[in-house]
Amino acid sequence: MDILALLLFLFPIYIANSSPVVLGGGIAIDLGEKFFDKKRILGKGKTVRGFIAGVVCGTVAGMLIAMIYPLEFFGSTSSQMMGAFAVSLGTMTGDSLGSFIKRRIDLARGRPFIIDTALFLAIALVFVYPFAEGILYSLENLLFMFGFTIIMHPAANFIANKLGLKNVPW
């Protein structure tokens, strides 16, 4: 297991997930609409600007990594660059799906939920599958990525709260 390569693989995912905290706001993705259960589809915290910012920032971070440090999980630099877009889009899709689920089970916006911690990574891994090589999906690598994320996600939220970027430390 190449820990540096795994951390560099995770970096665009974490950038995509955290960028909306700083760059988000504006029009909600769900436009204030409600699902058939009469609850907001995603909630006011999921915005068009935040979603796009997450995809763009994660993609740029991943492309920079591809130019500087080609990762063994990709067959070529171009696959790694396409993978950067795929993981960023997957991250933001997984984050939105987590919000959708939280709204269905009446969990307040911003409340900690294990799905938030794992879902954005899981969906990112699904989206990057066409561009990545099988070694990325070894049990050892998956356990590292999910274990590291379960620790890092709450720690990053705590730090963002202390820096005044988030209202709550989760």
pLDDT in tens, 107-127: 776 666 677 778 999 999 999
Q: What is the rounded distance in angstroms from the CA atom of residue 143 to the CA atom of residue 123?
A: 15
pLDDT for 95:
93
63 has a pLDDT exceeding 70: yes
Q: What is the rounded distance in angstroms from the CA atom of residue 66 to the CA atom of residue 8?
A: 9
The reply to whether 167 falls in a domain is no
The reply to whether 20 falls in a domain is yes
pLDDT in tens, 68-89: 999 999 999 999 999 999 999 9
pLDDT for 163:
74
pLDDT for 128:
98
pLDDT, mean over the chain: 90
The reply to whether 48 falls in a domain is yes
37 has a pLDDT exceeding 90: yes
Q: Coil, strand or helix: which one is 132?
A: strand
32 has a pLDDT exceeding 70: yes
165 has a pLDDT exceeding 80: no
The reply to whether 43 falls in a domain is yes
Q: Name the residue range of residue 30's domain.
A: 3-162
Q: What are 155-159's contacts with CB under 8 Å, separation 24+?
A: 156/14, 156/18
Q: What is the rounded distance in angstroms from the CA atom of residue 74 to the CA atom of residue 54?
A: 22
Q: What is the mean pLDDT of residues 95-105?
A: 91
The reply to whether 169 falls in a domain is no
Give the chain's domain count. Answer: 1
Q: What is the mean pLDDT of residues 161-170?
A: 66
164 has a pLDDT exceeding 90: no
pLDDT for 73:
93
